[in-house]
Amino acid sequence: MPPSPSPRPHGTEPPIRDRGDACPGALRLHSAADGHLARVRLPAGDLTVRQAETLADAADRLGDGHLSLTSRGNAELRGLPDGCGAQLAALLRDAGLLPSERHERIRNILASPLAGLDRHTPADVRLWARELDQLLCASNSATALSGRFLFVLDDGRGDVATLGGDVSLVAEGGWGLSGSGCPDGAGGSALLRVGDDPAALRIAGPDVPRAALAAAEAFLAAAEASGSGAWRVRELPDGYGLTARVVAERLHAAGIGAAYVAGTAYVAGAAGEAAQVATASAPYTAPAPYADSSAPGVIEGADGERALSVLAPLGRLSVGQWRLLTGVADADGVGALRLTPWRGIVIPGLSADTADARLRELSDAGLITDPASPWHRIGACTGRPGCAKSRTDVRADATASVRAGTPVPVACPDDGPVPGPGPGEGEGVPSLAPGAPRPDKHALRHLPVYWSGCERRCGHPHGAWVDVLATADGYRVSVVQPESPPAAPPAPATPATATSRAS
């Protein structure tokens, strides 16, 4: 599997891409040590019960009997045999999972998984995601996007806004936009950002999907002009960087109103001139008590409805576990599931009477249902035997470490030489490499822990995390901090009536 893309470190030269990206898809399979791999894009992580059953059938008939969940809310099938591509494509096409074969690898849309399910957020971002997907699949120019280009739609709680989107939109409350440079109307608004540019554009809600596509087209124009072959916004070389001001001109040309959000607001006027107006940013107000969309458990919604949020241990589910989830969604939910970027599944629409019992049933089946679980926030790459580049079976080592009560390898007495076999080669708990330091206890309590079989660190978390890296001498553990973290998105301007409206 190709390594996870990361923001370009500050001060480094951007890469020159002289070929297309190698990201796998549902039609372009990746050859791995355990067979072929297919990645099925699921915009906003949305699945119907029928689509989920199709994925289970594909994993059962063609794959290794498991499904992997990705950090973009997609699903992967592993262990696929040679020559299965046509059969797999037919299954996916029949279930509506391949609406456009030309666009199947670029349908990378993340959306807040709990939008509309807890008591304090609207469902608009999910509707935006569906419309954006339709626009992408109808766009000829969008086929030039790489399989790594990412759209992010955040419902205002900030859960996915910092997950490295190339085009990110953060929803604001359902309030009028008069005075902001955008037309007044229903549907709220969103703040659009590109790459790591801290400035934003305020967009009227009904225009969000078109604005997101226009921003992606602006990136393609910049990448072509630069001659760099950039796959992502952060890879554009100096002098060709994509900024909110550049995108604002593109939106104006498309007839989409946009208010520049910074110290003072910039608005592309009727004739394209820049006009200075009063700031479009409202003072920051304390956020509503949003549910934590990365945590497992029962989500309380309006009108007594509940949603279940569970996580897959190390991001992998057996077909049996997957079918159990699908059965709950069919029998007790609304016939839908949502995959999350934390390698989890949300099942909406349960009653208060059934939610707790179903959660216990899922827990008994081996799913993570409690934030206090030792498996919570523990992740791992594929490792051996599935990946030939891995030095060891990191998943087996991570499992041994968690079962021993430690999220990371234990240190040897006095940090002396590591006795016995190397990582993953034998019984017991894996050990640290000689002299390798341990991160402090605070980091272990609050940060995700990710085990990697090589320096590529495929699928690693964004932001700060505990890196457990296999080396020839054992594991080395460190805390990864972004060298140049992106600025936080501008605070959404929340209407004063947000509390009463949500209650």
Dump pLDDT digits (tens) for 14-73: 666 766 788 999 999 999 999 999 999 999 999 999 999 999 999 999 999 999 999 999
Q: Record the tokens describing residue 494, joined without a space.
A: 């929340």
Query: Buried (b) or exposed (e) across 237-269, using 16+ Cβ within 10 A?
Result: beebbbbbbbbbebbbeeebbbbbbbeebbbbe
Beta strand 109-111 with 151-154 is parallel
Which structure tokens are listed for 33?
């040590």
- Cβ(215)–Cβ(167) under 8 Å? yes
- For position 3, what pLDDT does the model report? 34
Candidates 61, 90, 92, 87; CA nearest to 75 is 92
How are the residues of the chain apportioned to helix, strand and coil, as percentages rounded to the nearest 5? Answer: 30, 20, 50
Q: What angle do CA 294, 126, 260 make, to 5 degrees?
A: 95
Q: Are 180 and 158 in contact (CB under 8 A)?
A: no
Q: Phi/psi of residue 224, each to 5°?
A: -65, -45
Rounded to the nearest 5 degrees, what angle is found at the Cα of 175, between the Cα atoms of 172 and 176?
A: 120
Give the residue among 162, 272, 252 at the shortest CA–CA distance from 207: 252
Asked if the bond preceding 385 is cis, omega within 30° of 0, the reply is: yes
Percentage of the chain with pLDDT > 70? 77
> Which amino acid type is present at position 93?
R
Whether the Cβ atoms of residue 81 and residue 62 lie closer than 8 Å to each other: yes
Given a contact cutoff of 8 angstroms between Cβ atoms, the answer to whether 266 and 245 are in contact is yes
Question: Is residue 475 predicted with pLDDT exceeding 50?
Answer: yes
Length of the chain: 503
CA dihedral 421, 424, 426, 430 (to 10 degrees): 70
- What does each C-alpha distance from 217 to 107, 138, 139, 342 come to in angstroms? 14, 13, 10, 29
Burial 59-95 (b: 16+ CB within 10 A, else e): bbebbbebbbbbbbbbbbbbbbeeebbeebbebbeeb
Please answer whether residues 394 and 316 qualify as being in contact, where contact means their C-beta atoms are separated by less than 8 angstroms. Answer: no
Residue 503: the pLDDT is 29
Confidence at residue 446, expressed as pLDDT on a 0 to 100 scale: 79
Bridge pairing between strands 75-80 and 200-204: unpaired
Q: Find out whether 414 and 455 touch, Cβ atoms under 8 Å.
A: no
Section 170-174 average pLDDT: 79
pLDDT tens across 202-256, in order? Answer: 999 999 999 999 999 999 999 999 999 999 999 999 999 999 999 999 999 999 9
Least confident window among 298-312, 426-440, 474-488? 426-440
Residue 492 has pLDDT above 90, yes or no: no
Q: Give the three-state DSSP class for 479.
A: strand
E strands of 127-199, at which residues?
151-154, 167-171, 189-194
What pLDDT was estimated at residue 443?
60
Confidence of residue 407 (pLDDT cuts 50, 70, 90): confident
Taking the C-alpha atoms of residue 323 and residue 325, their distance in angstroms, rounded to an integer, is 5
Q: What is the mean pLDDT of residues 427-431?
A: 50
Question: What rounded mean pLDDT belongs to the chain?
Answer: 82
Report the C-alpha dihedral over residues 372, 374, 378, 384, rounded to 10 degrees. -160
Which amino acid is located at 76 in the chain? E
**pLDDT beyond 50 at 487:** no
CB 411 within 8 A of CB 431: yes
Measured in whole angstroms, the distance separating CA 182 from the mean position of its chain's CA atoms is 29
Contact 190, 170 (CB under 8 A): yes
